[in-house]
Structure 1
Amino acid sequence: MTFEPRALLKRMFDAAIEAAQPARCVPPHLPAPPKGRLIVLGAGKASAAMARAVEANWPGELSGLVVTRHGYGVPCARIDIVEAAHPAPDRAGLDAARRIAEIAAAAGPDDTVLCLISGGGSALMALPAPGLTLEDKQAVSRALLACGASISEINCVRRHLSGVKGGRLAALAHPAKVVSLLISDVPGDVLSDIASGPTVPDATTCADALDILNRYGVEMSPAVRDLLESGRGESVKPDDPRLQNIETHLIATPQMALEAAAEVGRAAGLPVHILGDSLEGEAREVGAVMAGVARQIALRGQPFEPPCLLLSGGETTVAVRGGGRGGRNVEFLLALGIALNGLDHVWALAGDTDGVDGVEEIAGAILTPDTISRAWKAGVRPRDALDDNDGHGFFSALGDSVVTGPTLTNVNDFRAILIGAPAETAPRPKH
């Protein structure tokens, strides 16, 4: 190879993040100046950077408020930036959401409400539905995050327990025009799942949300159960006239990030195969499956000839069983490494494009052909680490963590597997 595998994988990850930077993707989608005011509202890990991009490219007056994750705020002159907790909501997120709702409700028919929405907005803009408390939402959120529910399932529940999600923010802003710029972090770019869809209609129901909570055995307070069973938590539906004056733009997606990374791989002379931008499932199981694919390529030349790169995105889940430092990307990577068991010529990187895998300020990690052997020499037991959900502890001990700091964007998980020349120990047959 004419490149260093670690460096190449890191350059690809950097390219994926750069492709979704708000400074690049916000300006082309700004609305025309309204007769009245431009009011900027938003929530998500990228929302502050999106707000800064609006300010830098908007010639007229504007005002507004966005809420982002602690550490993801950037200076803005005309738009208020509030930082709150993620992934479990806190009082700062509640207060910010209440202010956002009040600002939206005060918009007039000549105003345009520009909504800047990105991943993380579900937890950050935390206004409970009438009759619920912040503690109700926190308990449900923590239980869903720990039980292995998919992001689509989690956000279905969130939409029906919220005072602003599930189309309610756009409904509050009626009759103003609502223009939403979305950075997608969800499989399939489903609009109602991005930050739980505060400005788009929702076809799911309270019954769907209740079914999800019952299926995973999530304990509900009497107030939560009553809200869902009575139907009082119903979201705003597609035929609601309050949502007829909305305009929605997907400005950055996981697929765009994968394509940017693929260009870097091709520039290094490697064939690149994008396996999908919306792969889901239990992280350790996806890791084991991808190990089987990598092994077949390395040893058999099927379905692709090595050397090559496999790219994928999406959002896996982790059913928490242990007390480790977690992270779905490092859990995927650790399971991949255990299943490969030192297979030569295979490297991988997995990381969250927002710079935070789980709750750690670590984006992900890099796997090398000798990761497992180095772990044993260091006294770190791979299977024990996986059983304890301690992917971050495992890779940190080896010095293989990937730390980016706040990336100010979020287009979900990034996974790259680099497969070099066929292993000499198991030559593949000619075909």
Structure 2
Amino acid sequence: MTLANLYPAHVSELQQRAQNVLARENLDALVIHSGKELKVFLDDMSYPFKVNPHFKHWLPLVEATNSWLIINGSDKPKLVYYQPVDFWHKVIALPDSYWNAFFDITVITKATDIEQVLPYDKKGYAYLGEHIEVAQALGFDSINPEPVLSYLHYHRAYKTAYEQECMRKSNAIAVKGHIAAKQAFLAGETEFAIQQAYLKATEHTDNQTPYGNIVALNENSAILHYTALERTAPAAHKSFLIDAGANFHGYASDITRTYAFEQNKFADLIKRMDQLMLNAVAGLKPGASYVDLHIATYLDIGRVLQEFGFLTVDADTAYEAGIISTFFPHGLGHHLGLQTHDVGGFMADERGTHVNTPEQHPFLRTSRVVETNQVFTIEPGLYFIDSLLADLKASAHADMVNWQSVDEMRPYGGIRIEDNIIVHQSHNENMTRDAKLD
């Protein structure tokens, strides 16, 4: 099925959601602001523009500043598209695509012209967007009402067939980059050069990736959100961790791989963690608890630590002592979609009832029950982080660790392997593996 074939049902679903929440909250319409450029302090330059995810949920316009959607859930949605007359910058003309026919389109050449399109009396109209000062200047009283946002965020976890196809394409683009990055690593390139290889293969700029790519060699792989990109190659290439995604029509992919430069114990550890990751993927089933899956994987990582001689005790003892967190300090994964860490992960219902994560696992990014048409990342990790290891060595549980074996792995940093999964009723769809990334 093409995007054009899938799109009508997507818009119909969003219309139904809008109609439901408007009726429930006694509102007439949602007014969704795409956003505007933000200026650098004391400068005439702007930060990279990131469109309001509520806006790009409806249509694939990710660079449309000062544009608006007016939606009442019944009539054809109205798109107010900002297309200025400007000789300083390239003006992005209104695209002619499969989605145009589903909107009543008005083009404005000045951002302030939105005042002439919106009704004078904004009662019953809810503004959704980042720029509160704009909403207030326009006369909105209802600005980002929490019950509306909770409803929309809760239901955004259920991806339409159109959204799923966008995410398959996003994964396919990212896989091209990952393959190019691996080749650059094996050729002995620097982190900076590997990043450039990735961007060239994906045809993305730094600002177009859904998040700042993590391109880490050797011990830098132990820094969970490493983005420094060293320009000098290390004395020897030992390991490479890349956490990098792509965007397609505003939908993110989020993929991680770890490689060893030589076939050694670290390479064997990567293979074992890959098996563990795929086992966790198999545990994603409708009705299952993501929290329980995380805890089961947490214990599995303890078994890996035991198998490879990093522990002097069995995995169950290490689990009870809480020391596995030293080696796996983050959550198993998160919802994925219009944002890398997509919304709604802690909601029990469309009212936004919050479901806490266990106290022992504070970094989990979702506590929600797994359901069909949800999309997740699965990304277990095993790291040798100096600061966490120092805390453990100074604790009462220090003798549970084989420090000689741990010290041998410090120069390699750590391992994370991450795939993007669509949960179907009968099976899980691993978009990353389907795109031919082992």
Instruction: Give TM-score, length-normalised by structure 1.
Output: 0.29
Structure with larger RCO (C-alpha < 8 A, sep 6+): 1
Q: Greater CA radius of gyration, 1 or 2?
A: 2
Q: TM-score scaled to structure 2, two decimals?
A: 0.28
